[in-house]
Amino acid sequence: MTVFVSSDFDHHEQVIFGSHRESGLRCIVGIHSTVRGPALGGCRMWDYPSEAEALRDVLRLSRGMTYKAAVAGLPYGGGKAVIIGNPRTKKTGALLRAFGKFIDSLGGRYITAEDVGTTVADMDILRKETRFARGFSDGSGNPSPATAYGVFTAIRTAVEHKLGRRDLTGIKVAVQGIGNVGLTLCQYLAEAGAELFVTDVQPEAVDEVVRSFGATAITTDEIYAVDADVFAPCALGAVINDHTIEQLRASIVAGAANNQLSEARHGEELWRRGILYAPDYVANAGGVIDVANEESGFSQKKVLKIVEGIGPTLKQIFVRADTDKTPTCVVADRLAEERLSQGHGAMIAA
Ligand code: NAD
């Protein structure tokens, strides 16, 4: 297995493997950058088919967190952790406590939080072993509502830029994935008067949105081809690819999913086709903004006000993309890299 030369590695500062025989813990922490502050990023627990897959995932996600925190203007770097194993069958209190001790041994260079396969209740357990966890039940809790609000803000900004409309009344939005983020996003959109088209692999999730918000149910295969203004991917990564891009009828792509572009060239292809892409890590930064502000003790209302900053940031990216005739995904990367090159020095005492 090659690591240092792989494109996912991208100059990670540190990659640490951890294990604990008694609890069965096997984990990898990727610390991509601490230039702007301690590396902040969730812990994903997943039944990876191989260690190579787990390593690839942690590297990709950790690098993404560096860019996400930098563009969001947070005094944090980027990191991520993966625990190898099925969370439904392998996650025990002992395993979580062993993981907490492992995180603590890193001395604050990495701060963990909830992600796929881990919960707010898990963070409460980690807290018993380390100061370097965030997102507790008596703190910022589940970051999904803040993420949904950020995506809603991103959609409003993109609609205004692309369609010249300041309100969402009658704007058609195709939402893929009605999970934690997708459901709250649908609620915001419905309240704003948008017309919803929704899909999920779980029919009951779709039924709820159809019932509550008058959404139209769409099959998972047909969601890309819906005659909508906005396509909002809120389920999986790599959904913008050679196969789906041909089907897209929306003129805006803005959603919560991480790593929406299968490859960077798909961002360029969206641009070439005149489809405005709100770069994923800019649009979905609400959750990390929420977690990063936990220690400040801000109210949810104040955090959502900060999350609204995603709007002006995106606007800046859209305008620069137009001016420089450059895809939005490239402009967002440049913005992040500019902020990283400036460093920050504002190390937060964790
Ligand atoms: P979730 O697991 O609660 O919801 C995902 C939903 O997508 C589920 O209902 C699932 O059934 C559905 N789904 C899975 N495969 C599908 C398919 N092929 N077609 C349609 N639906 C499908 O996850 P979430 O917390 O809502 O997050 C959604 C996405 O946003 C994920 O990619 C996540 O990584 C990303 N994200 C989430 C947050 C957050 O705060 N939760 C923050 C940043 C990014």
Q: Please give the helix or strand (H or E) that residue 174 lies within, else none.
A: strand 172-176
Query: Cα(234) to centroid of ligand 1, in Å?
Result: 5
Is the shortest distance between the CB of 220 and ligand 1 below 6 Å?
Answer: yes
Question: Domain 14-64+76-126, what fold?
Answer: Rossmann fold (3.40.50)
Query: Cα(175) to centroid of ligand 1, in Å?
Result: 11
What stretch(es) of the chain map to CATH 3.40.50.720?
144-341
- Strand 25-33 and strand 77-84: the pairing is antiparallel
d(CA 229, CA 173): 6
Hunting for tokens 């627990």 — which residue is that?
Answer: 45
Q: Please give the helix or strand (H or E) that residue 40 lies within, else none.
A: strand 39-40
Is the shortest distance between the CB of 119 and ligand 1 below 6 Å?
Answer: no
Burial state string for 181-218 with b = 16 or more CB within 10 A and e = fewer than 16: bbbbbbbbbbebebbbbbbbeeeebbebbbeebebeeb
What stretch(es) of the chain map to CATH 3.40.50.10860?
14-64+76-126
Is the shortest distance between the CB of 140 and ligand 1 below 6 Å?
Answer: no
The C-alpha angle with vertex 65 and arms to 61 and 70, in degrees rounded to 5, equals 155
Is the shortest distance between the CB of 78 and ligand 1 below 6 Å?
Answer: no
Class (C level, CATH) for 144-341: alpha beta
Closest among 280, 298, 277, 278 to 289, alpha carbons compared: 298
Query: Cα(347) to centroid of ligand 1, in Å?
Result: 31
Q: Is 80 a catalytic residue?
A: yes
For 163-167, which contacts have Cβ atoms below 8 Å and span 24 or more sequence positions?
163/229, 163/251, 163/252, 167/192, 167/193
Choose the residue to mutate in 236, 300, 304 for probing ligand 1, maximizing ligand atoms within 8 Å of C-beta.
Answer: 236
Query: Cα(258) to centroid of ligand 1, in Å?
Result: 9
Q: In this structure, which amino acid lies at residue 304?
A: L
Q: Which two tokens stand for residue 271?
A: 């641009």
Is the shortest distance between the CB of 57 and ligand 1 below 6 Å?
Answer: no
Per-residue pLDDT of the chain (350 residues; tens, 9 = 90+): 788 998 889 999 999 999 999 999 999 999 999 999 999 999 999 999 999 999 999 999 999 999 999 999 999 999 999 999 999 999 999 999 999 999 999 999 999 999 999 999 999 999 999 999 999 999 989 999 999 999 999 999 999 999 999 999 999 999 999 999 999 999 999 999 999 999 999 999 999 999 999 999 999 999 999 999 999 999 989 999 999 999 999 999 999 999 999 999 999 999 999 999 999 999 999 999 999 999 888 888 999 999 999 999 999 999 999 999 999 999 999 999 999 998 764 433 33
